[in-house]
């Protein structure tokens, strides 16, 4: 079904407005997702502060051309959606996590990160970065382990000194 010129202008406006403030954009290929699954994906992405939009490839390419990103745009095959956010990892991570349960139906095909087009492999690596909370937890664990090691070393030295003093 053909889209009217006014509808195309509205879609292009939505895309350009979203891309203007986006830190990262993920290009998503999807196939045979049920309405319920799409709604589940949209809900999870919205909770993470990510916008998700399905549009014609030609309109997406036109909106991306206006942004003048570095590199070469990945090829778009099949149904295309884009996910974007001010968070640098959330769009890719949200789609990547959802794709784990829907392997045959949805996948990352590339994106824009740090003002440059990135390949499918690169956006997948970005998606695999742990969340900020997980990184804070690892950092706190490393600090705690270091402090514990220092305390044990002092305790052993104190016990050795005790034996010398007696």
116: pLDDT strictly greater than 90? yes
Name the pTM for this structure: 0.77
Residues 6+ apart with CB under 8 A from 69: 112, 115, 116, 117
| pLDDT (average), residues 76-89 | 91
Q: Confidence class of residue 1 from pLDDT cuts 50, 70 and 90?
A: low
CB 112 within 8 A of CB 73: no
pLDDT tens profile 37-60: 999 999 999 999 999 999 999 999
Structure tokens at 166: 């007696």
80: pLDDT strictly greater than 60? yes
| pLDDT (average), residues 10-16 | 91
Residue 15 burial by Cβ neighbours in a 10 Å radius (0-12, 13-18, 19+) = buried
5-129 belongs to which CATH class?
alpha beta
Q: Confidence class of residue 66 from pLDDT cuts 50, 70 and 90?
A: confident
CB 116 within 8 A of CB 69: yes
Residues 6+ apart with CB under 8 A from 68: none
CB 80 within 8 A of CB 29: yes
Residue 72 to residues 68, 110, 124, Cα–Cα distance (Å): 10, 11, 17
Which of 15-19, 54-58, 65-69, 79-83 comes out lowest in average pLDDT?
Answer: 65-69
Q: What are the structural domain ranges in the chain?
A: 5-129, 131-166
- Across all residues in the chain, what is the average pLDDT? 88
- Give the residue among 104, 82, 76, 79 at the shortest CA–CA distance from 95: 82
Q: Confidence class of residue 83 from pLDDT cuts 50, 70 and 90?
A: very high
CB 127 within 8 A of CB 96: yes
Q: What is the pLDDT of residue 166?
A: 54
């Amino acid at each position: 079904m053909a889209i009217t010129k006014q509808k195309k202008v509205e879609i292009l406006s939505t895309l350009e407005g979203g891309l203007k403030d986006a830190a990262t954009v993920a290009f998503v290929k999807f196939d045979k997702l049920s309405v319920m699954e799409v709604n589940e994906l949209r809900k999870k992405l919205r909770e993470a502060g990510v916008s998700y939009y399905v549009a014609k490839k030609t309109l997406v390419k036109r909106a991306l051309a206006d942004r003048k990103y570095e590199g070469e745009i990945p090829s778009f095959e099949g149904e295309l959606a884009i996910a974007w956010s001010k968070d640098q990892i959330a769009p890719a991570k949200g789609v990547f996590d959802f794709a784990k349960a829907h392997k045959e139906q949805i996948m990352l095909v590339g994106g824009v990160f740090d003002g440059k087009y990135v390949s499918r492999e690169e956006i997948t690596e970005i998606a695999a970065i742990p969340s900020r909370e997980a990184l804070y937890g690892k950092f706190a664990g490393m600090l705690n382990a270091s402090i514990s090691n220092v305390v044990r070393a002092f305790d052993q030295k104190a016990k050795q000194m005790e034996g010398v003093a007696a």
